[in-house]
Amino acid sequence: MQTKRLLHERKELAQEAAKGAAASGFILEPEGDSMSRFRGYLCGPPDTPFAGGRFRVLVTLPPAYPMSPPEVRFRTPVFHPNVHFRTGEVCLDVLKAAWSPAWSLASCMRALLVLLACPEPSSPLNCDAGNLLRCGDERGYRSMARMYVRRYALPDAKDETTEADR
């Protein structure tokens, strides 16, 4: 990992945090003094079934970062075709084959916000969510997604994660 690059990214993330989650849509901070693990959350985008939700994420940087993409996982269960319900794994091209070192951690977080607002049902990790959208049942998808937000992502929601997730 390039220390200079990570220091610059940490500064960028601190500037985003200073704006507040409401302005940027996310907070991402290093886990302790770690240079390779970040914890944070995304605010559910307005005008989506995720609005009002707060979704915890864990970002782990590989040793080859920024030449290799970070691993991003949702720690809050989310009903979305591109997020695996149990593992939190994300199916997003910029976190896989389309990764470029030009991307930063902040831009990854913004891409996740766009993904929440604009799901891609043709490459689902959650087949139930993908099938609802592929068959045109937008109402059913939005209803299920909103139910998950109420159960897991609202401030007073019960935290269903295990100690191993933390």
Above 50 in pLDDT, residue 165? no
Task: Find the DSSP H helices in the chain.
Answer: 3-19, 21-24, 105-117, 127-134, 138-148
Q: Which residues of 101-114 are buried (b: 16+ CB within 10 A; e: fewer)?
A: eebbbbebbbbbbe
pLDDT single digits (tens) 96-148: 999 999 999 999 999 999 999 999 999 899 999 999 999 999 999 999 999 99
> For residue 130, what are its two tokens?
């993908």
Q: Tell me, what amino acid is at 114?
A: V
pTM as predicted: 0.89
CB 45 within 8 A of CB 116: yes
**81 vs 122: CA distance, rounded Å:** 9
Q: CA–CA distance from 118 to each of 28, 32, 67, 127, 151 (Å)?
A: 21, 33, 27, 16, 22
Q: Which residue ranges form the domains of the chain, and what is each CATH number?
A: 3-157 (3.10.110.10)
pLDDT single digits (tens) 41-57: 999 999 999 999 999 99
Above 50 in pLDDT, residue 86? yes
CB 82 within 8 A of CB 66: no
Q: Tell me, what amino acid is at 1?
A: M
Higher local confidence (pLDDT), 33 or 134: 134
pLDDT, mean over the chain: 91
List the catalytic residues: 91
Using DSSP, state whether 48 is helix, strand or coil: coil
